[in-house]
Amino acid sequence: MSLATDITTRIKQDFTPIDVQRVTALLIEFRHETHSDDRILRCLLYVARGRFNCLAEAIALARRDFRDLIVAAEYDSDMQRTRDFSQPFNNKAMG
């Protein structure tokens, strides 16, 4: 199971070369176990911001309730949607 091009590009941009393979494998495994779509994977990467520990925490959050992850990634503190991770990272809808 492969990842969308924008997701693999973002992994390479955000994470150290040492972590790229580990992050890729983790996201593929997460997708396989949860049947998550690209939106959830983009939310995970956005929340992690290149930090492996934060990615692990975001995955734990998504396992509890993926909606909490979406809120953390797509909404600001006033609960206004500012990003749309159903769109690829390079899309203007990303905010």
For 36, the domain range is 5-79
Domain total in the chain: 1
In a domain, 29, yes or no: yes
In a domain, 92, yes or no: no
In a domain, 45, yes or no: yes
Q: Which residues neighbour 40 within 8 Å (Cβ) at sequence distance 6 or greater?
A: 34, 62, 66, 69, 70
In a domain, 93, yes or no: no
Rounded-to-integer distance, Cα 67 and Cα 65, Å: 5
C-alpha distances in Å from residue 3, one per residue of 8, 42, 77, 79, 81: 6, 11, 30, 29, 25
In a domain, 90, yes or no: no
pLDDT, tens digit (0-9, with 9 covering 90-100), for 37-62: 999 999 999 999 999 999 999 999 99
pTM for the whole structure: 0.91
Identify the burial level of 73 via C-beta atoms within 10 angstroms of its C-beta, where 0-12 means exposed, 13-18 middle and 19 or more buried. Answer: buried
Model pLDDT, residue 82: 94
In a domain, 47, yes or no: yes
